[in-house]
Amino acid sequence: MMSIEDYIEEHIDSEPAELSRLDRATNLRLINGRMCSGHLQGRLLKMLTRMIKPARVLELGTFSSYSSLCIAEGLDAGAMLDTVEVDDELEDFIRDALKSSPAGDKVIPHIGDALEYMRSAADASYDMLFIDADKRLYPQYYEEGMRIVRRGGYIIADNTLWYGHVIEPDAKHRDAQTEGICRFNDLVATDNRVEKVILPLRDGLTIIRIK
């Protein structure tokens, strides 16, 4: 019997061939291949990028660069994406993936600590921020994001339902990653500087607009 996700994927834009190959390579060659955004979330990231029309985007957590390339697909001519990955062992994989995609020349990869990179960025230099890095540091990423994303810009955060752990009675004390996601969600929920919505897509996607 067809699943809802299969049905959805049959009725949205098809996954580009190079991304299909990248998804397969990610799952075959990398640990935790399930972290790859995949077809549905990838098409949503492209669509959101088209709608926002950012000139500069920052992504925290490149992993295999699947999400990077989906965002890059949605960028207008001349727009660029900076993406930061802390795991230097992924650098060759990332660069090969970018070379294999028509949108790869819109992506500038950086290997290093995401928070340090953000702290080195100028004020209000980005139009859009995609957070998908260390879950323990989501609150810090958010506060730095509020400094470096312009008014009217967007912050998009992945994994904000965290396998459903966020609704467990001991969520805030379960483990450091769950605690980080819970603190982030609470911080965003009570922040009147922003508009926000959580989509129950895959592991939760929060879309935030800075007023």
- Percentage of the chain exceeding pLDDT 70: 100
What are the percentages of helix, strand and coil residues in the chain, rounded to 5? 50, 20, 30
Question: The tokens 């958010």 sit on which residue?
Answer: 142
Q: For residue 95, what pLDDT band results from cuts at 50, 70 and 90?
A: very high
d(CA 46, CA 66) in angstroms, rounded, equals: 11
Domain topology for 38-210: Rossmann fold (3.40.50)
Summarised one tens digit per residue, pLDDT across range 29-48 is 998 888 899 999 999 999 99
Helix axes 91-99, 66-73, angle to 10 degrees: 30
Look at residue 35 in the predicted model and tell me its pLDDT: 85
Q: For residue 211, what pLDDT band results from cuts at 50, 70 and 90?
A: very high
Q: For residue 129, what pLDDT band results from cuts at 50, 70 and 90?
A: very high
pTM: 0.96
- Show me where the domains of the chain are located: 38-210
How confident is the model over 23-33, as a mean pLDDT?
Answer: 91
